[in-house]
């Protein structure tokens, strides 16, 4: 699985093959996360830092613009619906 990328990482970094494979798998899992899962996860993370929803949803809306495959623009109301249904 992704041997070429793992080989590249072992040649260009101090990572061993097992470590490089774990890094590749972690990165792929990160980018495989759905928009809804990302919104829910970030909401929980930011809420645990003591931020209020108004700030949280604005921050999430900004962050979504920089995802590798950016979803269509979501309104603050749509973000709230993802979290609270």
> Sign of torsion, CA 23 27 29 30?
positive
pLDDT band at residue 9, thresholds of 50, 70 and 90? very high
Three-class DSSP category at 73: coil
Give the pLDDT confidence score for residue 70 in this predicted structure: 63
Burial (CB count within 10 angstroms: exposed 0-12, middle 13-18, buried 19+), residue 72: exposed
Regarding whether 77 and 51 lie in a shared domain, the answer is: yes
Regarding whether 15 and 3 lie in a shared domain, the answer is: yes
Regarding whether 78 and 54 lie in a shared domain, the answer is: yes
* Both structure tokens of 44: 């929980």
Confirm if 1 and 44 have CB atoms less than 8 A apart.
no
pLDDT digits (tens, 9 = 90+) for 34-81: 889 999 999 999 999 999 999 999 999 999 888 876 667 889 999 999
CA atoms within 13 A of residue 27's CA, in its CB half-sphere = 11
Number of domains in the chain: 2
Regarding whether 45 and 15 lie in a shared domain, the answer is: no
Regarding whether 23 and 54 lie in a shared domain, the answer is: no
Q: Is the pTM of this model over 0.75?
A: no
């Amino acid at each position: 699985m992704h041997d070429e990328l793992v080989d590249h990482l072992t040649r260009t970094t101090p990572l061993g093959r097992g470590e490089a494979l774990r890094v590749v798998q972690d990165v792929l899992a990160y980018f495989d996360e759905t928009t809804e899962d990302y919104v829910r996860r970030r909401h929980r993370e930011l809420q645990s830092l003591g931020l209020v929803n108004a700030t949280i949803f604005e921050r999430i809306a900004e962050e979504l613009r920089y995802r590798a495959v950016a979803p269509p623009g979501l309104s603050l109301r749509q973000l709230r619906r993802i979290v609270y249904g």
